[in-house]
Structure 1
């Protein structure tokens, strides 16, 4: 589990994903690898048009269509190779010593499942137009499948200066505090701890533990306990405190982690102007 794996696809979010991958690689002192997967569902290796044979069809036309699909796939693979090389050159310019690249023709989810043992951090760009009922079907599938931290980037790269961790006292978010405390990714950056819940002794005790854990690791760790609707409170706090990156636990049953599964997630992911790091 050693590499920062950055997925690129040639869309308008790929450049920022490349830059965030280089940033994370340098902060973690971990090797950087760029990954391009050409989905077989969109670019099959061989076209099967037999089901299209019908009135007015001609065998020669079907063969020509199959040849065109094959050529389209080859061109897409070649374009992917050029994208990977451009990403490597950009990362080298950012100071990454020896970034590598990998190209696959298949399924992104299956490819990442095969690579999971070698992933320290996965970086993926957020496609607003693909945000469906939840976070976007492909991205959601990756988050549910992969048991590794995932950094979901915005279309523009800004080196993070202030981090916010959505904390609820659960095992997942307590583990998140310990991961942040023990990782060089955010070292030297203030890490705000925000809890949504009742103003009671139990919640204050949980926040005090989180603050002490981060401060013992050298972090400045402002804390805040608010009541209200999760999405609105987190977004308002993020805006008021110029937060550059949001850290959250992915999935589960607490109020904050349920927020990662329903329509609230879609709204925040669509409107967020900062990247989100999902911890598993």
Structure 2
């Protein structure tokens, strides 16, 4: 069984993450699971000091610090459970009969990686607890998770808007072709107003690429509004989303190596930082 898995924390985006997860679960007819991870840096695991002998007065201090960490960890687990309980109740109120909850201690990226085989769609807030005060800052875990996980990831803003129209940012690459195929074969966006955009000069090759994507989407039942627009890729995509009032942006994620992105930058990372609507990233 595969799940829609929603990563929740104590950030302002948590409610929107819950609502997009509920929406996705209902659209895909998939089991919904809420995941809360206690970060091992913020809430370290209990420390065994039984081997520390001969430290004199410092031994008492180490024991006191270990006890403090244990108390903080307990409070963190209890608070996380309250968050999970609230998310579960919100899902039940929306009509989901049996939402599941999971709490883990450790690294978020490692935790979602362990659940990858059971994940159909992962949903995360664009900004978590540690970065939500930075308006254009992407949460510290987002890029690592997107690079690590091979499952679709929906990155949400702080407010939920019921999606009615979406844009596919398409460039004809293998990554973006896979993106189109995944959307065509999934019930997630079926029935919504579909827009397809290539940020490029109009050439025969570009028109051919666009025609292939249109055909795939039409065959899956989508009515598609297609456009080819020259200009900077990121600016063109985001301007289109703003002017056409898009409710969701879908695109392939990280189609090049880390070394190339280090040298020339990453469109995925830049759009993650600048987008104000949900971003569906497909590997």
Deviations 1:74-105 (A, max 9, x none): 00001111110110000111111210000111
The answer on whether the counterparts of 1:134 and 1:140 sit within 8 Å (CA) in structure 2 is no
More displaced stretch, 147-156 vs 205-214? 205-214
4+ residue runs over 3 A deviation:
47-50, 56-62, 130-137, 261-268
The aligned counterpart of 2:277 is: 274
Return closer, same or farther for 1:37/1:194 CA change in 2, 3 Å cut-off.
same
Deviations 1:95-120 (A, max 9, x none): 11210000111121111111111000
Deviations 1:215-238 (A, max 9, x none): 222111101111111111011111
The answer on whether the counterparts of 1:164 and 1:243 sit within 8 Å (CA) in structure 2 is yes
Aligned length in residues: 272
1:75 pairs with 2:81? no
TM-score, normalization by structure 2: 0.88
Matches within 5 A, 1:136-215: 136-215=139-218
Between Structure 1 and Structure 2, which shows a larger proportion of helix residues?
A: 1
The aligned counterpart of 2:45 is: 45
The aligned counterpart of 1:225 is: 228
State the shift of 1:67 in Å. Answer: 1.2
The answer on whether the counterparts of 1:133 and 1:262 sit within 8 Å (CA) in structure 2 is no
The answer on whether the counterparts of 1:134 and 1:265 sit within 8 Å (CA) in structure 2 is no
Which consecutive residues of structure 1, in runs of 5 or more, have no partner in the other structure? Answer: 51-55
SS at match of 1:37: strand
The answer on whether the counterparts of 2:172 and 2:210 sit within 8 Å (CA) in structure 1 is yes
Return closer, same or farther for 1:265/1:146 CA change in 2, 3 Å cut-off.
closer
State the shift of 1:262 in Å. Answer: 3.2
Return closer, same or farther for 1:265/1:170 CA change in 2, 3 Å cut-off.
closer
The answer on whether the counterparts of 2:121 and 2:151 sit within 8 Å (CA) in structure 1 is yes
The answer on whether the counterparts of 1:134 and 1:262 sit within 8 Å (CA) in structure 2 is no
Instruction: Give the Cα separation in 2 of the matches to 1:79 and 1:134.
Output: 25
Instruction: Give the Cα separation in 2 of the matches to 1:109 and 1:49.
Output: 29
The answer on whether the counterparts of 2:253 and 2:268 sit within 8 Å (CA) in structure 1 is no
The answer on whether the counterparts of 2:181 and 2:216 sit within 8 Å (CA) in structure 1 is yes
Return closer, same or farther for 1:235/1:134 CA change in 2, 3 Å cut-off.
same
State the shift of 1:66 in Å. Answer: 2.1
Deviations 1:174-204 (A, max 9, x none): 1111111111101110111100122111111
More displaced stretch, 82-91 vs 195-204? 195-204
The answer on whether the counterparts of 1:5 and 1:33 sit within 8 Å (CA) in structure 2 is yes
